[in-house]
Amino acid sequence: MAEMIRVMYEGGLVEISLNRPDELNSINRQMIAELHEALHEAADKEALLTELRERVRGIAGGNVGPELMDSIRTQAERFGAELVTDDVVSVDLTGETKIVRTHDAEYAARAVIIATGSHYRKLGVPGEERLSGHGVSWCATCDGFFFRDKTVVIVGGGDTAAEEALYLSRLASKVYLVFRGKELRAVKMLQDRLMGESRIKVIWNSSITEIKGNGKVVTAVSLENAETGETKELSTDGVFIFIGYSPNNQLIPPAVLMNEQGYVLTDEKCETSVPGIFAAGDLRQKFANQIVVAAADGCIAALGAAQYVEMQKAGVRSLR
C-alpha cells in the first residue's frame, strides 16, 4: 500500500503519494498548490478574491487571483497530486494513524498537514449579515468597481484598511475611514498617503453600531463616539470591513497548542505539539500572513511530514 501524506482543508483535502522517491523531490512545488486548493473551491478566501497578487514573488505586475489559483492547481496535478474536493466533517488525529472523515469517504494517514487558513472578522452589528453582498463587503478590489463615484465607509485602522481606503479613493467620490482609536496602526508611509488624499476623511474614536439599508442596498451607518457617547447617522452606499482575521481552527484537536488568538503553534518544521500533525499557512502563528509566506509554510510542512513518515516507516520515534 502506498504511503500517503494527507493535507486537510476546510473545503477538502489533498493527497501526496510517497511511494515514488521522485515525488519527494516535487513536494515543495506541489505544496504551493495545496495551500491554495481551498481558495480555489471556497470563494470567500482572501487570495481568490483579491484581483492583483502584488506580493507573490516572480509575478511581474501582479496576477488575477482565480488565474493564479488555476495555474498552481494545474502544476500540482502535473506533479501527480490527487485533489479531492469534499468537506472535512471530523478528524481523529490522536493515534499514530490519523483519520480524516469527509461526507463521502474516510482517509487514514501517518501524517496530516492542516492548512485551513483564516477568515475575515466581522463587526457583529445589526444589518451586517443581512446586507452582506448588498453593500457590505470585505474585499475592496473585488467590489470597489460597484461604488464608482459613490460614498463608502471603511472600518479599521491597520495596513489593510489604509491600503483599501487608498484603493477605493481612486473609485469612490468620498471615503470615510471609521476607527475606534486615536491613532492608526498602519505604517507611517500608508498614514502619510492616507492623510494626503483629499477624498478620504478619518472619523476618530468611533464605532459602527448598526448598518442600515432599504432592503436591497446599504443606505447609512450608525456611529457612536467612544469618548463622548454621541451617536449620529452617516449616509453611505457601501461598508468595507477590515478589522483583521480569525483562524479556522475548528478541526484542531485539543492537544495541539494554540496561542490566545487561536493560531496554532509550531516548530521550524511546521510540526505542532502533537507528532505527525503539521500546520501551514494563515492558521499558523507567524509574523506576516501573505501568499508567499503561506507557500513557504507549505513547502516546509511537506518536507517535515515526509521526513516524519519515513521515520515512522523505519521505526524511529519522534523526539517530540
Q: In which order are the strands placed within the sheet that holds 111-114?
A: 82-85, 12-17, 4-9, 111-114, 277-279
Q: Is the pLDDT of residue 33 over 80?
A: no
Identified catalytic residue from 143, 237, 282, 297: 143
Taken in order 22, 35, 166, 263, is the CA torsion positive or negative?
Answer: negative
In the prediction, which pLDDT does 282 show? 92
Q: Do 208 and 223 contact (CB within 8 A), yes or no?
A: yes
Identified catalytic residue from 86, 87, 142, 159: 142
In the prediction, which pLDDT does 195 show? 95
Burial of 104 (0-12, 13-18, 19+ CB in 10 A): exposed
In the prediction, which pLDDT does 76 show? 84
Q: Is the pLDDT of residue 29 over 70?
A: no
Residue that has been written with the C-alpha cell 473551491 in this structure: 41
Confidence of residue 185 (pLDDT cuts 50, 70, 90): very high
d(CA 166, CA 160): 10
Look up 142 and say whether it is catalytic: yes
In the prediction, which pLDDT does 60 show? 55
Taken in order 250, 253, 256, 260, is the CA torsion positive or negative?
Answer: positive
pLDDT tens profile 191-218: 999 999 999 999 999 999 999 999 889 9
Q: Is the pLDDT of residue 315 over 70?
A: yes
Query: 56 vs 85, which has greater pLDDT?
Result: 85
CA angle 70, 247, 59 (to 5 degrees): 30
Work out whether strand 82-85 and strand 12-17 pair parallel, antiparallel, or are unpaired: antiparallel
DSSP letter (8 states) at residue 317: P
Contacts of 156 (CB under 8 A, 6+ apart): 177, 179, 241, 242, 243, 244
In the prediction, which pLDDT does 238 show? 97
Q: What's the distance, CA 256 to chain centroid?
A: 20
pLDDT tens profile 93-106: 988 899 999 999 99
How does the average pLDDT of the chain come out, rounded?
Answer: 83
Confidence of residue 19 (pLDDT cuts 50, 70, 90): very low
φ and ψ at residue 231, rounded to 5 degrees: -120, 150
pLDDT tens profile 238-286: 999 999 889 999 999 999 999 999 999 999 999 999 999 999 999 999 9
Domains of the chain as residue ranges with CATH: 4-120+245-313 (3.50.50.60), 136-241 (3.50.50.60)
pLDDT tens profile 58-69: 555 555 566 777
In the prediction, which pLDDT does 67 show? 73
Confidence of residue 46 (pLDDT cuts 50, 70, 90): low
Q: Do 9 and 300 contact (CB within 8 A), yes or no?
A: no
Look up 299 and say whether it is catalytic: no
Query: 227 vs 13, which has greater pLDDT?
Result: 227
Identified catalytic residue from 70, 139, 159, 237: 139
